[in-house]
Amino acid sequence: MELVTPEIGLVFWTTVSFLVLFFLLAKFAWKPIMGAIDDRERFIEDSLRKAEAAKDEMARLTNENEVLLKQARVERDLILHEAKKVKDQIIGDAKDAAHTEGARMIELARVEINNQKAIAMADVKNQVASLSLEIAEKVLKQQFADQAKQDELVSQLLKEVKL
Amino acid sequence: MYKSSILKLKIFTLLRICAVFLTLNAFSLPVFSQETLKEGVEKKFEPSEVILEHIADSHSFHILGNTSVPLPVILYTDKGFEVFSAARFEHGKADYVGKYYTYRLINDKVNIVGANNTLLASATVLKLNSSLIDFSITRNVISMWMSILFLVIIFIAVSSAYKKRQGQAPKGLQSFMEPIILFVRDDIARPNIGYKYRRFMPLLLTIFFFIWINNLIGLVPFFPGGSNLTGNIAVTFVLALITLILVNLNGNKHYWKHIFVPADVPVWIWPLWWVIELVGIISRPFALMIRLFANITAGHIIVLSLISLIFVFKSLYIAPVSVAFVVFMDVLELLVAALQAFIFTLLTALFIGSAIEEAHH
């Protein structure tokens, strides 16, 4: 029975001592310790969140870079394409110009040839005319000599003449 | 087990050779050896007497061998306070004539004796109207103060380590204590109390470490151990009373409404309900008090009984068996020491949690 009967003295001292311990530890130990642990946990959580944010930011930047790169590539392709087009056009234009020039020169040549030909023809005609005149002179001379022969000569000459 | 050294040593006078098996006795001689020698007759060994003596509180603190420190006796009598040293009792062999009464030590308890050796009053039982209340600084009080000093030193060191090593990983003692503190917070307080746990952390931590440290000190068989603080009903009574007061001071509207104006209960049953609830309020801390007291005391009794076996059988050959069992029990008690501290704190948290719980219907 004695074993399970609380003694007033010990109850008193336990109460006083425990309360003193409680206030001492609460003030000088638990408060700073819990505060420090909470602070550190908050700091860790914060750091993790920041790391996560940095990772996201990094991913975003990488993404952006890629997009930029893609855009640049597209733009480059476009520029190259355009340049090619311009080049082709220039070549085409040059060809056209050359063609036109060639055609014009050929035309000029033809006109010149025709002119020359006309001049030559005129010359030939003149010669034919003078030849004819000569022939006619000769025929006339012959005719004056022998009528029959003259006729024959004229016809013979005429036959010989080939224009 | 804390007192086992005295016990062991006592018999070792008789069976010195046992010292080989029980290392603890190596440093001391039995307290009662002189007595035994004087009488020339071997006292009959009474295990229950020895065990109960070691379980109970004492007015002297046994240190080593024949050395024990007499502790101050503070008595409150109906005529006033009396303060003197327990040395005056000469181990119960002498009466002390004080200012107001004559005092005698019987079974380590102070009694007032009148003329003709009649017992006028005894400090053994909880009688508030008694003319004698014993406020002595007993062995348990000294032991408690040492544990408190120890706790304060440890945790102030830990808390200063937090200040000094701000923003750094814990180190040394700090890193040993931190997981335990976090255990109390994350596995005891938070799941049982809920988001308001922060307010109750200081008390839960103090209760946990106070019980744990004192359980461990109780396991040490010699000074500075050798007391049975957490196996003393007065100590567990105070701890349970603190829980009782704390829980009911923090009870919210919902808690009191459930007790006094229970919904879904016919009004005519209410008086009966109040009685049942009142019993519930008292019985929960009461169970806490008994559980801690019984567990720690039982552990001590088992260890002491195992040691007593050697002296009951008066045989050297039983010693290795006893020691083997004692070692096993001591290891088990290490677990029990932590477990009981955990259970006491857990249930306190649970009761607080149920008292501050918000209405959920």
Residues B126-160 have pLDDT tens digits of 455 567 888 889 999 999 999 999 999 999 999 99
Is residue B20 pLDDT above 50, yes or no? no
Chain A residues within 8 angstroms (CB to CB) of chain B: 2-15, 17-18, 20-22, 24-26, 28-34, 36-37, 40, 43
Q: Is the pLDDT of residue B39 over 80?
A: no
Residue B15's identity, in one-letter code, is L
Name the strand (E) or helix (H) holding A160: helix A147-160
The answer to whether B151 contacts A25, with C-beta atoms less than 8 Å apart, is: yes
Contacts of B134 in chain A (CB under 8 A): 7-9
What pLDDT sits at residue B293? 95
- Could you give the strand order of the β-sheet that contains B132-134, starting from the edge strand earlier in sequence? B80-85, B72-77, B132-134
What pLDDT was estimated at residue B88?
85
B144 and A29 in contact by Cβ < 8 A? Answer: no
- State the pLDDT confidence band at B22, using cuts at 50, 70 and 90: very low
Q: What is the pLDDT of residue B125?
A: 52
For residue B8, is pLDDT > 80?
no
Non-local (6+) Cβ contacts of B336 within 8 A are B215, B295, B296, B299
Residue A162, judged by CB atoms within 10 A of its CB (0-12, 13-18, 19+), counts as exposed
Establish if B52 touches chain A: CB-CB under 8 angstroms: yes
Residues of chain A found within 8 Å of residue B186, distances taken between Cβ atoms: none
Find the closest chain A residue to B203 by CA distance: A22
More confident residue, B351 or B58: B351
Q: Taking CB atoms and an 8 Å cutoff, what residues of chain B touch A29? A: 152, 155-156, 158-159
Nearest residue, CB atoms, A7 vs list B55, B74, B134: B134
- Residues of chain B contacting residue A8, judged by C-beta atoms under 8 Å apart: 126, 128, 133-135
Cis peptide before B224 (omega within 30 of 0): yes
pLDDT at B74 over 60: yes
SS3 (DSSP) at B70: strand
pTM, rounded to two decimals: 0.74
Alpha-carbon distance of B182 to B189, in angstroms, equals 10
Q: Do B126 and A12 touch (CB under 8 A)?
A: no
pLDDT in tens, B183-214: 999 999 999 998 889 999 999 999 999 999 99
Question: What is the per-residue pLDDT for B158?
Answer: 93
Would you state the pLDDT for residue A55? 96
Residue B24 pLDDT exceeds 90: no
Q: Which residues contact B243 (CB under 8 A, 6 or more apart)?
A: B207, B285, B288, B347, B348, B351
Per residue in B304-324, pLDDT tens?
999 898 888 888 888 999 999
Distances (CA, A) of B81 to B21, B97, B199: 48, 14, 40
* pLDDT given at position A149: 72
In angstroms, what separates the C-alpha of B234 from chain A's closest C-alpha? 4
What pLDDT, in 10s, does the model give residues A33-85? 999 999 889 999 999 999 999 999 999 999 999 999 999 999 999 999 999 99
- Kindly list the residues from chain A whose CB atom is less than 8 angstroms away from the CB atom of residue B208: none
Dihedral sign computed on CA atoms, order B56, B57, B63, B66: negative
DSSP string, A20-64: HHHHHHIIIIIHHHHHHHHHHHHHHHHHHHHHHHHHHHHHHHHHH
Percentage of chain B beyond pLDDT 90 is 42
Give the residue, B45 or B26, on which the prediction is more confident: B45
Residues of A whose CB is below 8 A from B159 = 28-30, 32-33, 36
Q: Do A14 and B234 touch (CB under 8 A)?
A: yes
Which one of B52, B55, B233 has the shortest CB-CB distance to A5? B233
Q: Is the pLDDT at B255 greater than 60, yes or no?
A: yes
pLDDT for position A24? 94
pLDDT attached to residue B130: 64
Is residue B129 within 8 angstroms of chain A, CB to CB? no
Q: Is A162's pLDDT higher than 80?
A: no
Please compute the mean of the pLDDT values over residues B58-80 and round it to a whole number.
84
Average model confidence (pLDDT) for chain B? 82
> Per-residue confidence at B38, pLDDT binned at 50, 70, 90?
very low
**Contact state of A17 with B144 under an 8 Å Cβ cutoff:** yes
- State CA B294 to chain mean position distance: 10
More confident residue, B326 or A7: B326
* Ranges of each domain in chain B: 4-69, 72-136, 140-356
| Residue B17 pLDDT > 50 | no
A-chain residue closest to B179, CA distance: A37
- B57 CB within 8 Å of a chain A CB: yes
Given a cut of 70, is residue B123 above it in pLDDT?
no
Instruction: Kindly tell me if the per-residue pLDDT of B40 is higher than 60.
Output: no
How confident is the model over B33-57, as a mean pLDDT? 68
Contacts of B242 in chain A (CB under 8 A): 18
Q: How far is B38 from chain A (nearest CA, A)?
A: 31
- Higher pLDDT among residues B273 and A154, named by residue: B273
**What pLDDT was estimated at residue B32?**
37
Of B15-19, B95-99, B222-226, where does mean pLDDT reach its minimum? B15-19
The pLDDT of residue B29: 35
Average per-residue pLDDT for chain A: 89
> Which residues, 6+ apart, have CB-to-CB distance to A3 below 8 Å?
B52, B55, B56, B233, B297
pLDDT score of B167? 75
Looking at CA atoms only, how far is residue A47 from chain B in angstroms? 12
Least CA distance to B184: which residue of chain A? A34
Contact residues, chain A, for B126 at CB < 8 Å: 5-8
Residues of chain B found within 8 Å of residue A22, distances taken between Cβ atoms: 202-203, 206
Six-digit token string for B80: 């006033």
Cβ neighbours of A34 in B, within 8 Å: 181, 185, 198, 201-202
**pLDDT surpasses 90 at B6:** no
Q: pLDDT-based confidence at B118, cuts 50/70/90?
A: confident
What is the predicted pLDDT for the residue at B134?
85
Q: Do B239 and A18 touch (CB under 8 A)?
A: yes
What are the tens digits of pLDDT across the range B274-292? 999 999 999 999 999 999 9
pLDDT at B67: 81
Tokens representing A48 are 């993790």
* pLDDT at B51 (0 to 100): 87
One-letter amino acid of B69: V
Please tell me the distance in Å from A67's CA to the nearest CA on chain B.
41
